[in-house]
């Protein structure tokens, strides 16, 4: 079928199999261009492995240190006449490339919050790898069904205390406007968001992997967080999602305790703001990202998802030395985003940004381009008028 983008609000309903494969290949080539990560991971479980930071982590582990990888995600397979989701196609492309390079790669498509998927992962590790030496936790989800109680939680993106009014952008139309977001109405909205995006499920994973004996001596586990600039604090770090990130970060000592006897260690890495399916859904943030991209590109310090994860592995997690942490015990790869000169310039541009000057003072074009890349569109090498085979199986799933 001929597959073109179909956009509804901040999501794209279609994905292109050859375009997503191109996107994956570019990320693999980037990792290869940086050379091997010495003493990198060898057997890796990635939870949330099909898009964004999780996919980039999987690519970095596989092509940066020849790791065997098991990836877990929740994606829709392709069916005749109906393209699969981007993460489905990404994984099909990743597994093909990994197998061609002689690397083990298998995947599980299902709800990572469930006990059943945890069991499946444990069985697969036992059967094929014995143990894993790195567990990456990179889920981003709007809802979670609790595996012990069956309660279904939905997260919200709201400020706490008072309404928040600021600029936002419709990045497709290029229109800057003011948006007011009402604050939470009750504590339950915080609790629900923490239940979805906080640290409990990460802890459950590590508890069950540990109990099954599939974590190697000296295992590492890492989950991802965000801080960002003051101008997004009300909607991000001081909002409901920020409470979930506080909870995730607070899980590090709990997991360290669990892993003590096998000399394992857990980390949260604070990553930079990037265009992903998750971040484009947050009000205010896309305008910030488009200004940030402009400033960071001008300074020659721009990074995408794969650059971030390659740097996390090569310059933080696997240097052979002690992992550098901030005063709150977190890894920081948002250091370039948070540089004082970068933030000062973004803050100046923020004050000025209007619909009229948006194309000129921001990198909204780059934002849009990256958004479409997430779904395999806007690649020069792909003919989007041509017929393509929409049914692409993932080798390990079928």
Q: Is 51 marked as a binding-site residue?
A: yes
Binding span for Na ion by CB under 5 A among 28-36, 43-51, 175-183, 368-376: 43-51
Q: Are 273 and 295 in contact (CB under 8 A)?
A: no
Q: Which of 54, 234, 239, 242 binds Na ion (CB under 5 A)?
A: 54
Q: Is 315 marked as a binding-site residue?
A: no
Q: What is residue 279's three-state secondary structure?
A: helix
376 binds, among Na ion, ligand NAD, none (CB under 5 to 8 A by kind): none
Catalytic residues: 236
CA-wise closest residue to 62 among 30, 27, 103: 103
C-alpha–C-alpha distance, residues 111 and 145, integer Å: 9
Provide the minimum distance between the beta carbon of 196 and ligand NAD in the complex, in angstroms, as a whole number.
9
Which is nearer to ligand NAD, 67 or 108 (by Cβ)?
108
Q: Is 151 marked as a binding-site residue?
A: no
Provide the minimum distance between the beta carbon of 358 and Na ion in the complex, in angstroms, as a whole number.
28
Q: Is 111 marked as a binding-site residue?
A: yes
C-alpha–C-alpha distance, residues 34 and 30, integer Å: 7
Q: Is 174 marked as a binding-site residue?
A: no
Strands (E) across 162-232 are located at: 164-170, 175-181, 215-225
Start-to-end Cα distance in the chain: 20
Provide the minimum distance between the beta carbon of 228 and ligand NAD in the complex, in angstroms, as a whole number.
8
C-alpha–C-alpha distance, residues 281 and 67, integer Å: 32
Q: Which residues of 308-317 are buried (b: 16+ CB within 10 A; e: fewer)?
A: bbbbbbbebb
Provide the minimum distance between the beta carbon of 280 and ligand NAD in the complex, in angstroms, as a whole number.
9
Provide the minimum distance between the beta carbon of 25 and ligand NAD in the complex, in angstroms, as a whole number.
18
Binding span for Na ion by CB under 5 A among 17-25, 131-139, 163-171, 340-348: 131-139
What is the number of H-type helices and E-type strands within the chain? 12, 13
Q: Is 274 marked as a binding-site residue?
A: yes
Q: Which of 40, 48, 87, 242 binds Na ion (CB under 5 A)?
A: 48
Q: Tell me the C-alpha to C-alpha distance, in Å, between residue 51 and each of 92, 185, 242, 324, 375.
A: 12, 33, 22, 27, 10
Which is nearer to ligand NAD, 37 or 282 (by Cβ)?
282
User: Residue with the closest Cβ to ligand NAD?
Assistant: 52
Which is nearer to ligand NAD, 139 or 336 (by Cβ)?
139
In the complex, which residues of this chain contact ligand NAD (CB under 6 A)? 48-54, 72-75, 87, 111-113, 138-141, 224-226, 271, 273-274, 276-279
C-alpha–C-alpha distance, residues 127 and 394, integer Å: 20
Which is nearer to ligand NAD, 129 or 274 (by Cβ)?
274
Q: Does 138 sit near Na ion (CB under 5 A)?
A: yes
H helix or E strand, kind and range, residue 69: strand 68-73
Which is nearer to ligand NAD, 258 or 292 (by Cβ)?
292
What's CA 5's distance to the chain center, in Å? 22
Q: Largest alpha-carbon pair distance within the chain? A: 60
Annotated binding site: 48-53, 74-75, 111-112, 139-140, 226, 245, 274-276
What is the contact surface with Na ion in residues (CB under 5 A)? Answer: 48, 52-54, 138
């Amino acid at each position: 079928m001929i597959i073109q983008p179909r956009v509804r609000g901040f999501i794209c309903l279609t994905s292109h199999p050859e375009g997503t494969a191109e996107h994956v290949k570019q990320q693999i080539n980037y990792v290869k261009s940086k050379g091997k990560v010495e003493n990198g991971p060898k057997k890796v479980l990635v939870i949330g492995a099909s898009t964004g930071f999780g996919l980039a982590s999987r690519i970095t582990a596989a092509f940066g240190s020849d790791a065997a990888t098991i990836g877990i995600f929740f994606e829709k397979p392709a069916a005749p006449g109906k393209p699969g989701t981007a993460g489905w196609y990404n994984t099909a492309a990743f597994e093909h490339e990994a197998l061609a390079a002689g690397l083990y790669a298998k995947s599980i498509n299902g709800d990572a919050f469930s006990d059943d998927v945890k069991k499946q992962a444990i069985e697969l590790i036992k059967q094929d790898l014995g143990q894993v030496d790195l567990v990456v936790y990179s889920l981003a989800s709007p809802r979670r069904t609790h595996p012990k109680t069956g309660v279904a939680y939905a997260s919200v993106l709201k400020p706490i205390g008072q309404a928040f009014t600021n600029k936002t952008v419709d990045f497709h139309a290029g229109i800057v406007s003011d948006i007011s977001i009402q604050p939470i109405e009750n504590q339950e909205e915080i609790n629900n968001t923490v239940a979805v995006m906080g640290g409990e499920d990460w802890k459950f994973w590590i508890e069950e992997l540990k109990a099954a004996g599939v974590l190697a001596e000296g295992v590492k586990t890492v989950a991802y967080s965000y801080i960002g600039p003051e101008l997004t604090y009300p909607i991000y770090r001081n909002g409901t999602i920020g409470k979930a990130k506080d909870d995730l970060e607070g899980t590090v000592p709990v997991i360290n305790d669990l892993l003590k006897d096998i000399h394992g260690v857990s980390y949260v890495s604070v990553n930079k703001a990037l265009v992903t399916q998750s971040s484009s859904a947050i009000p205010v943030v896309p305008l910030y990202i488009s200004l940030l991209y402009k400033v960071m590109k001008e300074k020659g310090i721009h990074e995408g998802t794969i650059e971030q994860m390659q740097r996390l592995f090569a310059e933080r997690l696997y240097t052979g030395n002690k992992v550098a942490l901030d005063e709150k015990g977190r890894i920081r790869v948002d250091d370039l985003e948070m540089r004082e000169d970068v933030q000062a310039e973004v803050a100046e541009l923020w004050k000025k940004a209007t619909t009229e000057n948006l194309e000129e003072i921001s990198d909204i074009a780059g934002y849009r381009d990256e958004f479409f890349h997430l779904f395999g569109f806007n690649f020069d090498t792909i003919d989007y008028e041509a017929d393509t085979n929409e049914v692409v199986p993932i080798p390990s799933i079928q």
